[in-house]
Structure 1
Amino acid sequence: MVVTDIRQQFPILGRTVKGKPLVYFDNAATSQKPQSVIDALSHYYAHYNANIHRGIHTLAEEATHAYEAARFAVQEFIGAAEVEEIIFTRGTTEGINLVAYTWGRQNIAAGDEIIISGMEHHSNIVPWQIVCEEKNAILKVIPVKDNGELDMDAYKSLLSSKTKLVSIVQVSNSLGTVNPVKEMIGAAHEVGAKVLVDGAQSAVHLDIDVQDMDCDFFAFSGHKVYGPTGIGALYGKKELLENMPVFQGGGEMIREVTFEKTTYNDLPYKYEAGTPNIADTIALKTALDFIKDTGKESIRKHEAELLAYATAQLQAIPGLTIIGQAGNKVSLVSFVIDGVHPQDMGVLLDNMGIAVRTGHHCTQPLMKRFGIPGTIRASFAVYNQKEEIDVLIAGLHKAIKMLT
């Protein structure tokens, strides 16, 4: 894998910001898109824009074929047993909400317990709070240790016959921590609980095999895997999906409608009401093809080198503290600097053409646990280079002098 060749596939990397070459280190929020993904979007609209599934004309058939090809691509990407287990959503957030409002409302009762962790994104906290409030159930939280890892002993002590669901992030968006989800799933299943895995951050970095993992649900977003925004996928074990109530009503999710009764469609269409996000779904396949062609092992090796290099350089800056130093991390480093507010640093770095994320990263309870308002987060992707990290380090030194 030659990074300079990879970079040539991403047109946005050639632009300038505030007169400086763009250094893009906000990949955990959203990754940039290769030209092939951009072309897939425009090609659909220019050549075979049509609604899918029910049309018999050529454009409709071509669009349907491309749309369903994307479903097979997602099945392969995450290792699902059957293509019917793949439901297209707007992203991880909608996938989690779908499970909460269908399986959750159907299976959670008063006194039942749902377990999440202290490092969850708000999208994996709020839906379960809503369910627990409605059902008079109890939400329990796995503590986070000082190094940014989950307290696994505490997790196992939380599990009981009352546990009905564990909903856990595979990779923390704020810390980069890779959680031992396979072990956690096995422990949850021993007490009869189901497990949802939030794969928003893991899908682009780790090899995902939902069958080997044995999770009951898995959700991820297209825009974090070099694909478009507004598209993602939810995996669910077929027997669970078949027995869950519907999520939204409308076209496509029905088999027959009368004023007296409606019968619902088979999987996966039961959960895909209305005209879907056809163009972005088709382009999602192109993004997954990019990852497959580049090779996840090559991507991981490159990103690990970036993480090690950045970590060493950052640790040498006086007054800088890295938040989250787990033994197993993806290419993300989150840090604070004595006497510097993260937002102020973010503004100054942007003036130098450097894009980082600052704030609480939609993990306010995690920030509270560490006693900080937020962090400065630099997250790396396949197209980033060590030379860009050097630019970041120089920018930090310059900004620190200005702010302290």
Structure 2
Amino acid sequence: MNEPTSRQSYAFAFVMITSLFFMWGFVHNLDPILIPHLRRSFSLSVLQSALVDSAVFIAYFLMALPAGLLIRKAGYKRTMISGLALFAIGALLFIPAADTQRYAFFLGALFIIACGLTVLETAANPYIALLGRPDRAIQRLNLAQSFNGLAATLAPIVGARLILVDGASDAQLQAMPETIRQATLAAEAASVKGPYLAVALVIAVIAGIFYFLKLPEVGAAGAGAGARQAPSATPVGEALARAWRQPAIRRAAIAQFFYVGAQVCVFSFFILYASHAAGLSQIAAADYLGWGCGLAFVTGRFAGTFLMKYIASARLLFIYAVICTALSGVAMFAGGAASLAAVIGIAFFMSIMFPTIFALGIRDAGPDTEMGSSLIVMSIVGGAVLPLLFGYISDATHNLQFGYAAPLFCFVVIAWAARAAEQEQRAPAANTSTGALKHV
């Protein structure tokens, strides 16, 4: 293959994989709309509504390892198509869930979607990191993840107008006869069917495109995107243990657990938070979530990608984590516009964290790339655990703002991991300088 053709192939593959980042970002960021919607429909507490996130992120823990094994056996392309198929099936299941009016069925549909997203993310993140020059991997992954951030801007704005129903107030609902109240809530719950049917159809089209698409080979595992890799002689348990023994992978898995937990707390509870701290309506809060947090998130991704040309990625991660820690403290105690500004600021500064942590973890992982990727994706289960802590603190203190103690702690852990990665980055440079002096 000549060089111009190779560049075109890589560019087109990058565009197609990046479309996946947008799609799973869009669906993930419908969850903050679902939480107040289902909380109203089923009269849930904050802790019970957090089960939406638990259903999603438990799937990451359960499916990440099978996804890594699937990459080894079937290649990146077939793995991504499998993830798209699960994604579409889960979206379609929202139709019977709405018809049956069972909260557990909604959680089940979200779980199936998340299984598909786990498979997609386990394959797409390392594939993007490996698709080109190794020294540009972190910037490349941040750029692709920027479109995930774009979805975070659009999904709440679009989703609020399609899913959140401006119907009877809570007081009016309580005054209704039970049969009429149940019928009203059932009609409101049905508003999810149209948006998720549209998502399923779009994903089915993308899966069809990927089926016929020839993806270029990537260099880490030495296998083509669609090719089967040679069976490994190393047992799975031993391969996982070997990957875990790598300090960078272990540190990234821990940091990712707390990062995803923090992100889910910030985004999923924003509408409830804005209503409590600033007195906004749900539609107005959803607009702030999109145009405020979402736009700050995507802007932060592009800005962070640019700044990494001048500031080492681990150093920038540390600075941003410290800022997010301080802003979480403000979010706990401020009110009105200041509370909203603090949370929007968190969205900006946490924007680079997921791709940067991921890329730092698998950099120079060699044969441990697939298992390392699985471990880091498994750690996304933090998104199932930390929101429960957020909900528990909020319910126990009767103050939703105090729930921000959970993301505050998460950002402290991320700052620790970033500092350790920064010191590790400096060590080779110091050793190289010492060696150079010895040879003079």
The TM-score bracket by the shorter chain reads under 0.3
Q: By percentage of residues, which structure has more helix?
A: 2
Q: TM-score, normalised by structure 2?
A: 0.26
More relative contact order, 1 or 2 (CA 8 Å, 6+ apart): 2
State the TM-score, normalizing by the size of structure 1. Answer: 0.28
Higher strand share: 1
